[in-house]
Amino acid sequence: MSGWVAGSDNFRNSLIKIIDQTELNAVVIDIKDSTGRLSFNTDDPLIQEIGSSENRIRNIRALTALLHSKNIYIIGRISTFQDPYLTKLKPEWAVKKISDGGVWKDRKGLSFLDPTNKNVHEYILAIAKNSYAQGFDEINFDYIRYPSDGNITDINYNLTSGKTKADNMEEFFKYLSTEIKKVDNIPISADIFGLTTEAKDDMGIGQVWEKIIPYFDFVCPMVYPSHYPPLTYGYKNPSLHPYEVINKALMSAIIKTKAINQNKSKIRPWLQDFDLGAIYTKDMIQSEIKAVYYNGLNSWMLWDPSNKYTPSALKLETIN
C-alpha cells in the first residue's frame, strides 16, 4: 500500500479484506516514498527538523494495531536514496555532478542522496527505528542503489582508496545492519534489481548479490518478467513467460546464495501483478507463485503500482 492508500479508509479496508480472505498474511506500507516524504507524523527530532513528514496516515499506531489484531505482519518500505525532497533541502547530502558540482538529476529530474554521506545514514536509521516503534514488524529498504539512467557518466561516486560503487553500498549495508540490530534486533529486508540474481557485475548501480544478502534478513529481487529485456532466456517477450523467467532467476539466486554460505530462505521475491508487456491474468500470477515454490522458497510479495490486486489469483484462506 502506498501511504495515500493506507490513509484512505475505504481503499485500505478493501485490501485488508483480501488479506483476511486469502492466503496473504502480510502487507507492505510505504513509510517514505520516492518523493522523499514520510507517510505519517513522527516525534523524532531529526525527522522533525528536516520536516519530511506528511499526515497521509492520520493515526499510524491505530493502523498498526488494527493490522496486528488481524494477525497481519506489517512491512514498512523506505525509498532510501531516491529523495528529491531532501536533496533540495540539503544539496550537500546529494549525489553530485562531476562537471560542476551541482546536484545530479536523472532523465525524470529526480535526484539521489549520496550513499557515502554519514548524515544520510543517520537519517535513514532514524526513520527505520521510529517506524519500528510505531508498530511495523519489519523495515524494507528500496532504492538502495546508485541511479540507473540519465547522464551517469557525470556522477561523482565518491570512490576512495580503490573502492567500487558496490563497496560503498556494502559499507552502508554494514552500518545499517549493525546499528539497527543493536537494541531491538529489527528484521530488515532489501529490494534489489531482479537482474542481480545472475549479473556478474554491479550493473553500474552498486548492487552485487553477494555484498547484499549477508546484511539482511530477507532479500527481495524484483523479478518482474516485464522488466527483463527482450531475448532474456531466449524469450522475445519475457512478460509472456512468467514461470520460466522467475524460475531461472531464482535458480541463479539460490546458486549465488549457497556459494557464500547464506540461507536461501532469505530470498523473498517481488512478483508482478500489473499489466506491462502483457495483460497479467490470474493464471500468470499463479504461475509466478508456482515458480517460487518449485525452487523451495516459501515467501513472496505482489506489487501493483495502482494497488489494485487480483484476489482470484490467490488461494482462499482455510479455517482450521
Question: Residue 129 is which amino acid?
Answer: K
Per-residue pLDDT of the chain in tens (320 residues, 90 and over written 9): 999 999 999 999 999 999 999 999 999 999 999 999 999 999 999 999 999 999 999 999 999 999 999 999 999 999 999 999 999 999 999 999 999 999 999 999 999 999 999 999 999 999 999 999 999 999 999 999 999 999 999 999 999 888 999 999 999 999 999 999 887 889 999 999 999 999 999 999 999 999 999 999 999 999 999 999 999 999 999 999 999 999 999 999 999 999 999 999 999 999 999 999 999 999 999 999 999 999 999 999 999 999 999 999 999 987 54
CA distance 74 to 66: 11
Sheet holding 218-222, edge to edge: 26-32, 73-79, 138-142, 188-193, 218-222, 270-272, 301-303
Amino acid residing at 242? P
Residue partners of 100: CB distance under 8 A and separation at least 6: none
Instruction: Give residue 124's pLDDT.
Output: 98
